[in-house]
């Protein structure tokens, strides 16, 4: 090292700031003391449909938007939709992610969580994928089929999960890739 | 605020003083509302006596979770400690509701276990003989 | 076009850190307010109106400005609280603009703050989604399933869906995301008030950290910060007297879209593709229209976007009309968005380095204003004439947009 | 200030325990307001909501109310004080010239949570909240004692005002049914349960679920929409210090400043003579009086004289007709609008030309807002 050469100190990875800690006082917010209201009678046909094994969406007559699960208010037209339409059991993946949440058992394997768009509907519902599907095979636009729960109770999750269907577009893509 | 809690640990009232208008705040605060000047630079120690500015006899106690009716009503007072310019809220103890009046002289009662917490001030009781 | 032209004359920050345990909420906000008033060189009594906001449920204190009033120069002054979740800061900025533009008040102080170390942010964020948790069992939604569906945490969950869709669309890689993070953290090291300062971080460092929620890694995620920010508005005439370079706010918009991922009463969510962002486009269109900007990619010199997660930064600069669709990753690769680039983005380090939620969306326009004034600590080498500050919040359904310039919008009326 | 017109309004009938989900309630109010003005959703250019995250039990309470509030793809924002404060933001937006039609809605459902307990969260966490002695009842009690002592007002006088309000509420069809008692006497009020001495239960309002919405428009636009708009000619807002120990509880400095500002803008010199209707939002009957006095409607300490003459105090019953946090200020505006438009069937004050409506937030009316409203057409 020569005299007069500038010595460059290595910059730290992370500049940390420290502050004197002062006292803290406890305060609580009890979320559990809240009640949340939801009048189930408004979506009776939908729940009945689930119990009997068919899927109903709610269609707004004014803008033709179909919501599944039903939304009681159409924000685009500011009306209450009232036309129930039957939807097929097939769906597509609109969006997906994997949860690496620190679960007790499944710490290693990511749990796929998908946003399902029921065919014929214009809305997305967060749902589960069938358990034996590898997360890496999931892609956006993947076709799915609803799998019913063993026991249907007329409740939200009578559709237990979704399982992948064979995608005809896949073969086309493969051919394209070969070319 | 730290000094206030430290003071409570030693059973003392530490108040802050506005650097501009000289108002004394108890509990202390960083800024004086009237002059927007720093109020946390000068601290003064205040005596244990004070005056009841205003009070109410409460039949209900409200916590962060719920409200409940009290068996024995409690007296909630706004107590201005001598030397301070602001009153603070506290319980008034050892007195019947009917005997309460504004302008009464009171003295602090410390809690049994001091933790440096606002609850160290158990309340105020009237000075005997008055 | 506003009848009275509002102008920003100064913006102040408090020191930001993960735990400002040395101060309480009021004292923290006071730091920013004092900084702001000092910079503007006016008397606190000249302030006519105070607007503030934060993300309430993260601190466990409802309407804290009621008891903070004395600390923020609001005693015996009109005061308004505006809160819209993540966009709170942006909404407060916009409310400040309107207070001046209405002609009712002259000098307006807008404040955004957050002390997240006071409360459990994860609980706060989860309650965005889980607020209606008690109705879920009624409709057969069991808790185990809910945890796995939303377990990644609401904001991160939403962002990772967005990231998946964006990556599928634009073919961006994880390396592209990491590059954004590196740029932000290095920029943050040069700004005095920021939180995560990492002057020597590299792409490999970021890619080395574990996943939180695919495709987002631990190193890509924004921190939880304590901090406050304040902006001082006044009218055009007054600003000319006070400030050397007043920053005129020419266009504001805060457009709401349908919530993504979740919907009220367990309905289906309206945004099918969370990276489509019609609301952002509409908002940009409105704000640019007000400001008379026809070609944002050419006319805007400096941009601050609200991007807690790197994929969002790439997405927003496209949706806000600054780059062609799917071209942002390449722009980052070529250094266009760097500090000395053609269109510098987030030279303060962005939300990715400092996220004090209630203040974040306000720090964007505040920092952009400082760049125009030439007073920013990480001042870009080129002269900034027109800048933009952006914010998003809610279930990616609120967008705020503030377009500012060093010249007022001409009024030919 | 240019005039801002109120062109439409709607109030959902209050209910102790409404069997509706929050979005549905907001939808009813917003739809009703649009219908009352004969407008469509696409006419709205901006929506200001007033909800509170704590009163709603979840953060970002307006995130899921976009659809119901008619705010889809509109310039949207939320104010977290009172409905009247939200209207102030609406006035800002209209006056700026950027917007032509503003929808303001307020909502909360006290049946879902304990309002008094949640209000504890508004306290200063470094002292008052940990001590947890201060609450709506004790603050009201202390305020009442300060008022009675300073101005030598007897308990009976305040009870008379409470009786007047409750009887007025009985005539108001949009009041809470449980609050409507036309057979009430001063004795009933005095004998009702003591909450915090000297505050009686019948001087404290009943909490109820409700939503309300109003539509604001600039002057030109208003005249196109309706022949009978009500004009906002003045507005003032002010916040007092938080610390009760520093305030003189028997008066309201903040309301005085707010009212003076509003009167100055509206060009009112003698509010006592010029104002016909006073719709005051006070948390207790006593607070109604304090605020009415501070608003210059009568001499200080002489609030009870409003029953005999001068501006009509709370012809709708005021808060005694049911208090909904976040909505009450809007309700006050709506009631004043009804009177000025001559639509208050059953409790109409004849010849009402000018009115004031107030909103507040905080303990002992810390932050006050006052509107001066003037009738348009007839």
More confident residue, C123 or C237: C237
Within its chain, how far is the Cα of B14 from the centroid? 11
From chain B, pick out residues whose CB is under 8 angstroms from the CB of D194. Answer: 57, 59
pLDDT confidence tier of residue A33, bands split at 50, 70 and 90 = low
Q: Is the pLDDT of residue C50 over 90?
A: yes
Which domains are present in chain C? 6-119+222-405 (3.40.47.10)
Q: Which of D150, D364, D375 is nearest to D255 (CA)?
A: D364
- Among chain B residues, the shortest Cα distance to A31 is held by B65
Give, as one character, the DSSP assignment of residue C269.
B
What mean pLDDT is predicted for residues C118-145? Answer: 45
Which residue, D318, D320, D268, D325, is CA-closest to D297?
A: D268
Q: Assess whether pLDDT exceeds 50 at residue B74.
A: yes
| D74 pLDDT above the threshold of 60 | yes
Q: Give the residue from B40, B8, B11, B7 showing the smallest Cα distance to B23.
A: B40
Closest CA–CA distance from residue B130 to any residue of chain A (Å): 36
Do D89 and C98 make contact, defined as CB atoms within 8 angstroms?
Answer: yes
Report the residue of C120, C135, C265 to disrupt the A interface, i.e. the one with the largest count of A CBs within 10 Å.
Answer: C265
The pLDDT of residue A11 is 58
CA distance C249 to chain D (A): 13
D24:A74 CB<8 A: no
Render pLDDT for A160-175 as a digit per residue (tens, 0 to 9). Answer: 888 888 877 777 776 6
Structure tokens at B44: 């003064």
The answer to which of A19-28, D278-287, D344-353 has the lowest mean pLDDT is A19-28
Output the CA angle C381-C385-C388, nearest 5 degrees.
100
Task: Give me the DSSP letters along C71-102.
Answer: GGT-TTB-EEEB--GGGHHHHHHHHHHHHHHT
| Mutate which: B5, B29, B31, vs C, most C CBs within 10 A | B31
In this complex, the residue of B27, B89, B102 whose CB is nearest that of residue D133 is B89
Confidence of residue C382 (pLDDT cuts 50, 70, 90): very high
Q: Which positions in chain C touch A67 (Cβ < 8 Å)?
A: 267-268, 270
Measured in angstroms, the CA of D116 and the nearest CA of chain A are apart by: 13
Residues 6+ apart with CB under 8 A from A64: none
Burial zone of D269 (CB within 10 Å; 0-12 exposed, 13-18 middle, 19+ buried): exposed
pLDDT of C150 higher than 60: no
Lowest mean pLDDT among A111-115, A159-163, C103-107: A111-115
From the CB of residue B20, how many other CB atoms can be counted at a distance below 10 Å?
13
Lowest-pLDDT range of B74-88, C37-51, D124-138: D124-138
Domains in chain B: boundaries: 2-126
Contact partners, residue A60, CB within 8 Å, separation at least 6: A66, A67, A74, A76, A77, A79, A81, A83
- Which value does ipTM take for this structure? 0.91
**Residues of chain A contacting residue D116, judged by C-beta atoms under 8 Å apart:** none
CB of D116 within 8 Å of a chain B CB? The answer is yes
| Main-chain dihedrals φ then ψ at residue A60, nearest 5 degrees | -85, 120
Number of alpha helices (DSSP H) and beta strands (DSSP E) in chain B: 1, 8
E-only strand ranges, D42-144: 46-50, 75-79, 102-108
Q: In the complex, which subunits touch A with 3 or more CB pairs below 8 angstroms?
A: B, C, D
Mean pLDDT of C267-274: 79
CB of C333 less than 8 A from some CB of A: no
Q: Which of A95-104, A139-148, B64-73, C379-388 has the highest mean pLDDT?
A: C379-388
Cβ contact (<8 Å) for B2 and A33? no
Position D350 pLDDT exceeds 90:
no
pLDDT > 90? residue D234? yes
Those residues with Cβ within 8 angstroms of residue C202's Cβ, 6 or more apart along the chain or in another chain: C182
Q: Is B114 on the interface with A (CB under 8 A)?
A: no
Asked if D194 is an interface residue toward chain B (Cβ–Cβ < 8 A), one would say yes
Does D97 reach chain B within 8 Å, measured CB to CB? no
How far is A114 from C160, CA to CA, in rounded Å? 11
Asked whether the beta carbons of residue B64 and residue A30 sit closer than 8 angstroms, the reply is yes
Say whether C82 and D258 touch across the interface (CB within 8 A): no
What was the pLDDT predicted at C134? Answer: 37
**β-bridge mates for residue C260, sequence order:** C271
Q: Which CATH number fits domain D4-114+207-225: 2.40.128.110, 3.40.50.300, 3.30.1280.10, 3.40.47.10?
A: 3.40.47.10
Task: Flag whether pLDDT at B26 surpasses 90.
Answer: no
User: Could you say which of C22, C161, C268 has the minimum Cβ distance to residue A95?
Assistant: C161
The pLDDT value recorded for residue C144 is 47
From residue D191, alpha-carbon distances to B55, D3, D40, D138, D164 in Å are 21, 47, 51, 19, 16
Secondary structure letter of residue A15 according to DSSP? B
Q: What distance in Å separates the CA atoms of residue D240 and residue D367, rounded to the nearest whole number?
A: 6
> Mean pLDDT of all residues in chain B?
85
Work out the pLDDT band at C379, boundaries 50, 70, 90. very high
Q: How many CB atoms lie within 10 A of CB A102?
A: 8
pLDDT band at C131 (very low <50, low <70, confident <90, very high): very low
Burial string for C240-252 (b: 16+ CB within 10 Å, else e) reads eebbeebbbbbbb
The tokens of C19 are what?
């735990």
> D144: pLDDT confidence band, cut at 50, 70 and 90?
very high
Average pLDDT over residues C329-345: 92
The reply to whether C132 touches chain A by the CB within 8 Å rule is: yes
In what helix (H) or strand (E) does residue D222 lie, and over which residues does it extend? helix D219-225
Helices D328-341, D83-95: crossing angle, 10 deg rounding: 70
Chains with ≥3 CB–CB distances under 8 Å to B: A, C, D
CA distances from C139 to A43, A155, C284, C348, D22 (A): 11, 5, 39, 46, 17
Chain D touching partners, 3 or more CB pairs below 8 A: A, B, C
Select the residue of B78, B85, B121 nearest D142 (Cβ to Cβ): B78
Assess whether pLDDT exceeds 90 at residue C86: no
A150 confidence band (pLDDT: 50, 70, 90):
confident
Tokens at D287, concatenated: 């607070």
Average pLDDT over residues A35-60: 85
8 Å CB contact of A23 and B118 = no
Please compute the mean of the pLDDT values over residues D210-218 and round it to a whole number: 94
Is B118 in Cβ contact with A25 (below 8 Å)?
yes
Q: Least CA distance to A27: which residue of chain B?
A: B64
The two structure tokens encoding residue A80: 């209450």
Q: Identify the band that residue C109 occupies on the pLDDT scale cut at 50, 70 and 90.
A: very high
Q: Please say whether the beta carbons of C182 and C202 come within 8 A.
A: yes
pLDDT tens sequence across D36-68 = 999 999 999 999 999 988 888 777 778 888 888
Spatial separation of the C-alpha atoms in residues C255 and C101, rounded to whole Å: 19
Residue D325 pLDDT greater than 50, yes or no: yes
| Mean pLDDT, range D170-174, rounded to an integer | 92
Query: Residue C143 has what pLDDT?
Result: 45
Mean pLDDT to the nearest integer, A81-86: 92
Cα–Cα dist C324/C318, whole Å: 6
CB D113 within 8 A of CB D171: no
Nearest to B30 among C26, C45, C69 (CB): C26
Q: Hey, where are the domains in chain A?
A: 40-178
In a mutational test of the C interface, the residue from A97, A100, A111, A136 whose CB has the highest number of chain C CBs within 10 Å is: A97
């Amino acid at each position: 090292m020569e005299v007069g050469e500038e010595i460059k100190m290595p910059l730290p990875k992370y500049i940390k700031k420290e502050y004197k800690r002062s006292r803290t006082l406890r305060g609580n917010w009890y979320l559990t003391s809240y009640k949340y209201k939801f009048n189930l009678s408004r979506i009776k046909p939908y729940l009945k449909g689930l119990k009997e094994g068919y899927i109903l969406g709610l269609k707004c007559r004014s803008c033709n938007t179909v919501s599944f699960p039903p939304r009681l208010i159409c924000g685009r037209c500011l009306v209450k939709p009232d036309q129930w339409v039957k939807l097929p059991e097939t769906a597509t993946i609109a969006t997906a992610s994997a949860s690496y949440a620190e679960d007790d058992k499944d710490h290693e394997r990511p749990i796929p969580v998908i946003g399902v768009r029921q065919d014929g509907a214009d809305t997305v519902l967060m749902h589960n994928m069938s358990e034996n599907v590898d997360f890496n095979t999931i892609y956006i636009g993947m076709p799915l089929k609803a799998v019913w729960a063993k026991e249907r109770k007329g409740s939200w999750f009578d559709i237990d999960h979704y399982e992948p269907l064979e995608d005809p577009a896949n073969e086309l893509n493969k051919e394209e890739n070969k070319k | 605020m730290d000094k206030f809690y430290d003071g409570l640990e030693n059973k003392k009232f530490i108040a802050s003083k506005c650097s501009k208008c000289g108002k004394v705040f108890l509990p202390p605060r960083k800024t004086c509302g009237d002059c927007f000047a720093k109020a946390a630079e000068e601290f003064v120690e205040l005596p244990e006596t004070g005056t009841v500015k205003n009070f109410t006899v409460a039949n209900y106690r409200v916590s962060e979770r719920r409200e409940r009716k009290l068996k024995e009503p409690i007296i909630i007072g706004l107590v201005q400690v001598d030397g301070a310019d602001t009153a603070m809220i506290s319980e008034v103890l050892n007195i019947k509701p009917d005997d309460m009046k504004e302008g009464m002289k009171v003295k602090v009662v410390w809690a049994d276990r001091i933790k440096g917490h606002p609850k160290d001030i158990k309340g105020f009781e009237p000075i005997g003989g008055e | 076009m506003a009848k009275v032209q509002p102008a920003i004359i100064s913006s102040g920050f408090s020191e930001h850190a993960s735990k400002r345990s040395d101060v309480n909420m009021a004292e923290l906000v006071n730091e920013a307010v004092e900084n702001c008033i000092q910079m503007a060189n006016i008397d606190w009594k000249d302030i006519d109106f105070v607007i503030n906001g934060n993300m309430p449920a993260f601190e466990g204190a409802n309407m804290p400005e009621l008891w903070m009033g004395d600390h923020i120069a609001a005693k015996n002054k009109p005061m308004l609280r505006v809160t819209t979740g993540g966009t709170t800061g942006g909404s407060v900025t916009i409310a400040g603009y309107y207070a001046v533009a209405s002609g009712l008040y002259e000098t307006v102080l807008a404040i955004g703050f957050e002390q997240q170390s006071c409360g459990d942010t994860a609980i706060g964020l989860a309650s965005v989604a889980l607020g209606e948790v008690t109705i879920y069992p009624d409709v057969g939604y069991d808790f185990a399933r809910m945890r796995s569906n939303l377990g990644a945490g609401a904001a991160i969950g939403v962002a990772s869906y967005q990231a998946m869709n964006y990556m599928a669309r634009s073919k961006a890689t994880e390396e592209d995301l990491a590059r954004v993070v590196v740029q932000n953290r290095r920029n943050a090291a040069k700004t005095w008030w920021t939180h995560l300062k990492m002057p020597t971080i590299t792409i490999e460092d970021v890619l080395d950290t574990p996943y939180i929620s695919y495709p987002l890694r631990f190193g890509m995620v924004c921190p939880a910060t304590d901090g406050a920010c304040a902006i001082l508005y006044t009218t055009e005439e007054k600003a000319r007297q006070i400030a050397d370079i007043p920053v005129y706010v020419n266009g504001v918009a805060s457009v709401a879209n349908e919530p993504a991922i979740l919907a009220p009463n367990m309905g289906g969510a309206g945004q099918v593709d969370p990276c489509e962002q019609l609301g952002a486009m509409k908002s940009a269109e409105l704000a640019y229209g007000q400001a008379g900007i026809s070609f944002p990619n050419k006319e805007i010199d400096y941009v601050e976007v609200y991007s807690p997660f790197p994929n969002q930064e790439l997405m927003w600069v496209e949706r806000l009309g600054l780059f062609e669709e799917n071209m942002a990753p390449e722009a980052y690769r070529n250094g266009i968005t760097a500090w000395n680039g053609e269109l510098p983005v987030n030279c303060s380090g962005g939300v990715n380095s400092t996220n004090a939620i209630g203040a974040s969306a306000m720090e964007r326009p505040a920092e952009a204003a400082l760049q125009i004034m030439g007073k920013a600590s990480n001042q870009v080498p080129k002269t900034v004439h027109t800048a933009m500050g952006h914010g998003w919040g809610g279930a990616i359904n609120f967008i705020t947009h503030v377009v500012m310039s060093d010249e007022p919008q001409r009024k030919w009326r | 200030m240019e005039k801002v017109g109120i062109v439409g309004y709607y109030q959902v009938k209050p209910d102790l325990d409404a069997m509706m989900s929050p979005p549905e309630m907001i939808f009813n109010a917003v739809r009703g307001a649009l219908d009352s003005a004969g407008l469509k959703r696409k006419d709205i250019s901006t929506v200001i909501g007033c909800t509170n995250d704590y009163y709603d039990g979840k953060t970002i309470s307006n995130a899921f109310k976009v659809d119901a509030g008619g705010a889809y793809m509109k310039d949207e924002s939320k104010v977290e004080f009172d409905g009247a404060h939200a209207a102030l933001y609406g006035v800002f937006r209209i006056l700026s010239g950027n917007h032509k039609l503003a929808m303001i809605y307020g909502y909360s459902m006290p049946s879902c949570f304990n309002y008094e307990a949640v209000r504890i969260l508004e306290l200063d966490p470094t002292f008052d909240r940990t001590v947890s002695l201060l609450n709506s009842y004790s603050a009201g009690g202390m305020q009442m004692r300060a008022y009675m002592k300073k101005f030598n007002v007897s308990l009976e006088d305040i009870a008379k005002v409470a009786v007047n309000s409750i009887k007025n509420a009985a005539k108001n069809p949009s009041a809470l049914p449980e609050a409507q008692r036309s057979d009430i006497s001063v004795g009933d009020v005095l004998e009702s349960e003591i909450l915090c001495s000297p505050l009686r239960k019948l001087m404290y309002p009943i909490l109820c679920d409700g939503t309300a919405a109003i539509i604001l428009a600039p002057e030109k636009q208003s005249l196109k929409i309706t022949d009978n708009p009500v004009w906002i000619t003045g507005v003032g807002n002010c916040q007092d210090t938080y610390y009760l120990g520093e305030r003189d509880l028997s008066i309201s400095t903040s309301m005085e400043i707010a009212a003076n500002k509003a009167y100055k803008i509206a060009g009112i010199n003698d509010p006592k003579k010029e104002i016909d209707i006073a719709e005051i939002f006070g948390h207790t009957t006593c607070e109604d009086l304090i605020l009415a006095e501070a608003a210059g409607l009568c001499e200080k300490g002489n609030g009870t004289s409003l029953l005999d003459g001068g501006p009509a105090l709370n012809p709708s019953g005021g808060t005694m007709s049911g208090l909904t946090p976040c909505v009450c200020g809007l309700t006050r505006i709506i009631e004043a609008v009804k009177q000025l438009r001559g639509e208050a069937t059953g409790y109409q004050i004849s010849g009402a030309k000018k009115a004031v409506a107030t909103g507040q937030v905080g303990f002992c009316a810390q932050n006050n807002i006052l509107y001066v409203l003037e009738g348009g057409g007839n």
